[in-house]
Amino acid sequence: MSKNVIVKIIDAPGWMNNFLILNSLMLLSQIPNPDPKFLQLKNQLENLGFHVMIELPPKRGAYGLLRETDKKIWINPVVFDLNIGNQVLIHESVHAAQVCAGKGKIKVLGLDIQPSNYTRPFFLRYRNVHRQELEREAYAVQSHPLSFELAISLLQKHCK
């Protein structure tokens, strides 16, 4: 997506450049604005050394992605249109806490909560059992009535 924008700007005549740059700046500033909770969680993650990017994840079709090796988190911009921005960031925050708990090597936290039934197909599609357990926790928190508070406290507990 950002590549496209750059190509367009290079190809466009001068007056159009400014217009397109302005346009993409407006787009960027509109994306993270909507929810103070989203911003609070994003800030907390960044204070803990995670880098949150509102960009298409390298894995096709993913809403969010965390790469353990360099603590990068991608949030697909489409989640704001779908109104699931908070949910997706909360999900990735659980993975972030799992990375902290395993000191860089992602590890199951051993949470005592169960994911809601509607999320079962989402983590059961993972073949790898370890991955399935990691996802089960992320979906359990994401679908919990206190998901936001849980995500904040898991990060506080496991990342220092």
> Where on the chain is the footprint of Zn ion (CB under 5 A)?
135, 138
Among residues 8 and 67, whose Cβ is nearest to Zn ion? 67
Query: For residues 143, 81, 70 and 108, what is the CA-based torsion angle, rounded to 10 degrees?
Result: 10
Q: Which is nearer to Zn ion, 138 or 141 (CB)?
A: 138
- Measured from each CB, the residue nearest to Zn ion is 138
State the minimum distance, in angstroms, from the CB of residue 135 to Zn ion: 5
Q: Shortest distance, CB of residue 91 to Zn ion, whole angstroms?
A: 6
Q: Are 147 and 116 in contact (CB under 8 A)?
A: no
Shortest separation between residue 49's beta carbon and Zn ion, angstroms: 19
Cβ atoms of 137 and 98 within 8 Å: the answer is yes
> Which residue lies nearer to Zn ion by CB, 12 or 106?
106
* Least distance in angstroms from the C-beta of 160 to Zn ion: 23
Residue 16: CB minimum distance to Zn ion, A: 40
Please give the Cα distance from 64 to 130 (Å, whole number). Answer: 19
Residue closer to Zn ion by CB (options 89, 135) is 135
Supply the angle between the helices 147-158 and 129-142 in degrees, to the nearest 10.
130
Q: Is 65 helix (H, G, I), strand (E, B) or coil?
A: strand
Return the number of the residue (80 or 139) whose C-beta is nearest Zn ion. Answer: 139
Buried b (16+ CB within 10 A) or exposed e, 53-62: ebebbeeeee
